Amino acid sequence: MNIDKAIQIGLLPKEFSGKIKAVGNSSLTGAVQYLTTLDVKDRMEKIALHSEEIGLANDKDFNELYMANMFFAEQY
């Protein structure tokens, strides 16, 4: 993703400029680290034990707020 272009069209807020970084295929990197590095595997397992899935796809309030706050710039 080109962060500057995403900000320019309103996909991301302009306040994010200079504060975020596209990391590419982080799931592949994480999978490789999990399989090849013992301390990473242990840390990931600890995180998984304390993690909880929050399903937003079917949450009516979330969807309404998300759409209300989505802004696509009309001019580039």
Model confidence pLDDT, tens digit, residues 2-42: 899 988 888 888 999 999 988 888 899 889 998 999 899 88
List the alpha helices (DSSP H) in the chain.
3-8, 26-36, 38-49, 60-69
pLDDT of residue 70: 74
The pLDDT of residue 51 is 94
User: Are 41 and 49 contacting, i.e. CB atoms less than 8 angstroms apart?
Assistant: no
Q: What is the pLDDT of residues 40-62, one digit of tens each?
A: 988 999 999 999 988 888 888 99
pTM above 0.85, yes or no: no
Give the CA distances from residue 50 to residues 1, 33, 37, 44, 47, in Å, rounded to whole numbers and listed in that order. 30, 20, 21, 10, 5
